Amino acid sequence: MAGLRRLGNIPAGRRAKWLVLVFWLIVVAVAGPLSGKLTGAEQNNTSSWLPPKAESTQVLNLQSRFISPNVYPAVVVYDRPSGLTAADKAKAVADARKFGDVAGVVRGQITGPIFSQDGTAIETIVPVNLGSGGWSAAGPAADSLRAIAQSGADGLTSHITGSLGYAADSGSAFKGIDGTLLYSALAVVIVILLLTYRSPVLWLLPVISAGVALVTAEAVIYLLAAHAGLTVNAQSAGILDVLVFGAGTDYALLLTARYREELRRHSDRHEAMAVALRRAGPAIIASGGTVILSLLTLSFAELNSTKSMGPVLGIGVAVALLAMTTLLPALLVTTGRWVFWPVKPQYGSVEPTTRGMWARIGRNIAVRPRAVWVITALVLGAMAAGVAGLQAHGLTNAQSFRGTPDSVAGQTVLDQHFPGGSGAPVVVFGNPASGQRIATTLRSVSGLTDVTQPVTIDGHAYLQATLTSAPDSQAAYATIDRTRAAVHAIPGAGALVGGTTAINLDVQRAAAHDRNLIIPIILVVAFVILALLLRALVAPVMLIATVVLSFAAALGVSALFFNNVFNFGGADTSFPLFVFVFLVALGIDYNIFLMTRVREEAQRQGPRCGALTGLSATGGVITSAGLVLAGTFAVLGTLPVTFLTEIGFAVAFGVLLDTIVVRSVLVSALNLDLGRWVWWPSRLARYPAPEAELLRGEATVRSG
């Protein structure tokens, strides 16, 4: 233990701090060029997001034997409400030939033009091979098709929809994810640090440390993606920016606050930092460890996009933790007390938190702690009641975007003039000997039309059918279930049902499975870490219960806003899991920040005064940390993607609720009401509260 303690004091050493700074300079020099390659290592193709064992994934794998999995069908839609002219029809025929010259288009497989029965719309299906680029390559292909369709249109409206159109619009929505999110998060962090520190210089040190952590994390992730098979996509890479800056700045706030406190008690800044690291280090490391382990539980997920996110974000938090416990302390002791200017912590001065706002709040809570926690819990419970309105059943393609991109507008035209599943067929594979029986069965399934004759390809019977409902609707998902039940019942057919709608359905179900599996695991991990750190059982149970209540309240309020203010129309199936991971893992952070200080003070003063001192000492820094994290997650709303906007809102609101109400009011009131029993079965629970402490507490309450 002593060896580990000495190791932890290295950043505070008079000479060792320079070694730490040189080490990180070398790391940045090496990592800088590698971090810039991370975007090129992203895998945004369909297979990198899907559950590998799902039936639709098996169909996609079979289909890839003769059709590349990187082929995205584009549906070019023409529309003239007053009725198509002969020139319109001739243009559509000529365009279909021109589409074959676009890079990536699979020649000989263009279908159409197909004219609607009402004589007002045309569709042409153009399969495009995007290669390994996934949706990042969809935009240029869609632009090329759009240029042809719009050329010489003479009032004929056209849209690019289908899988390629949605991929192009998704790529456009995520195009600014690196720059937009990074700069927005950086701006939020700088503003909040300026308000928190009230220093024109101090904010630079946490920001520099977080920036170094992000560059290093991106380099590590790139190397693992390039050489160890780690999957990275645009979603996980974007959240990485937010999480590294948010969590890293949280750790910086806690360490800096404790360092500033110790500077008032020690004349030597190196000694002050050594004490700060010894006192705050365990809490910071336990907090970071909880977040990392919680994120790594995502590796148990069935959904590839969720499974890959765990290691990516876990690496980001681990590097941020390392930077904030080595680089930041070295920078702080190198710069000295002047970095806190204009309010420099002078040796021997009184710590202002002892008479600040949170000290007054603690004294008020101490008057009737039981009434405070009961009322607070009831209010949070009422907020949680809104969970009943959360429609986390998946988003349609139209609901996935904030606004109406071209692919959504085109799908609306398709739905008005053609069968609902046009351009997104149901794909069925089976035993060649059972091909006709499969076709007959498909024709009997309600919700399907235009069933093709079976074709034997690569030893399998291959069939397609068109959905009569929109391919991303609940009615279409019900049709997929009926189809699967029908063809699976054919003896010896070995039939598998896939296609775009089946993929979406399987993704939703995998997300529900992941939520039900991972949430209990995270709770167990958090409980074990809290029990080991606090050396108690009652405190971890109390803290886990408050975190779950806070999570439910955040979901309930989010559901009310999604349905009645933002009119999102629903939430992604993965939404509850991601919000839980971020809120619970990061909420445990604040529990650890508060309760480790409460335990430290309780050992010196007794449980009651320990709870009040712990709140007054950490209330400000926990609130500042919550503001930073809420602000960084809120910037997810800068992207026109509903899923990320919803996560940003829910996490930002949940973090503020957790830091301002749950952690500082509810937990403090429970600490005061339960007293020493919070620490059962540790020695603190057997420590009889001295009369002197009770008298001091009573006097403090009366004087407050």
Topology (CATH level 3) of domain 406-505: Alpha-Beta Plaits (3.30.70)
Question: What confidence score (pLDDT) does residue 132 get?
Answer: 64
List all residues 6 or more positions away from 2 whose beta carbon is below 8 Å from its beta carbon: none
Indicate the SS3 state at residue 280: helix
pLDDT for 2: 46
Contacts of 649 (CB under 8 A, 6+ apart): 558, 561, 566, 634, 637
- Does residue 101 surpass a pLDDT of 50? yes
Q: Contact 24/327 with Cβ under 8 angstroms?
A: yes
Residues in the chain: 704
Residue of higher predicted confidence among 197 and 526? 526
Cis before residue 127, ω within 30 degrees of 0? Answer: no
Angstrom CA distances, 391 to 25, 42, 395, 556, stand at 48, 30, 9, 11
pLDDT > 90 in the chain, percent: 21
pLDDT at 224 over 50: yes
* pLDDT for 377: 93
pLDDT at 4 (0 to 100)? 41
pLDDT of 6 reads: 53
Long-range pairs, 394-397, Cβ under 8 A, ≥24: 394/504, 394/507, 394/508, 394/570, 394/572, 394/573, 395/568, 395/569, 395/570, 395/571, 395/572, 395/642, 395/643, 396/470, 396/472, 396/473, 396/569, 396/570, 397/166, 397/472
Whether 233 contacts 190, CB under 8 Å: no
**Cα–Cα dist 404/488, whole Å:** 38
pLDDT in tens, 604-653: 777 788 888 888 877 878 888 788 888 878 887 777 888 888 988 998 99
For the ranges 247-256, 397-406, 624-633, the one whose mean pLDDT is highest: 247-256
For residues 4-31, average pLDDT:
80
Q: How far apart are CA 451 and CA 466, in angstroms?
A: 7
The pLDDT tens digits for 128-174 are 888 766 666 788 888 899 999 888 888 899 999 888 888 888 877 76
> Is the model's pLDDT at 702 over the cut of 50?
no
DSSP class per residue in 20-65? HHHHHHHHHHHHHHHHTTTGGG---SGGGTS-TTSHHHHHHHHHTT
pLDDT value of residue 45: 62
Same fold, 1-49+176-349 and 406-505: no
Instruction: Determine the pLDDT at residue 704.
Output: 43
What is the average pLDDT value for the chain, to the nearest integer? 83
Instruction: Give me the pLDDT at residue 420, please.
Output: 64
What are the extents of the domains in the chain?
A: 1-49+176-349, 70-174, 406-505
- Domain range 1-49+176-349, CATH class: mainly alpha
The Cα–Cα gap between 97 and 108 comes to: 10
Lowest mean pLDDT among 37-51, 70-84, 244-258, 417-431: 37-51
Strands 448-449 and 460-467: antiparallel
Bridge partners of residue 126, in order along the sequence: 74
pTM over 0.85: no
| pLDDT category of residue 327 using cuts at 50, 70 and 90 | very high
Q: What is the pLDDT of residues 333-371, one digit of tens each?
A: 988 888 888 777 776 666 665 567 878 888 888 889 899
Asked, as a colleague might, if the bond just before 140 is cis with ω within 30 of 0, I would say no
The class that CATH gives domain 70-174 is alpha beta
Nearest to 330, CA basis, from 273, 288, 247:
273
In the chain, the amino acid numbered 164 is L
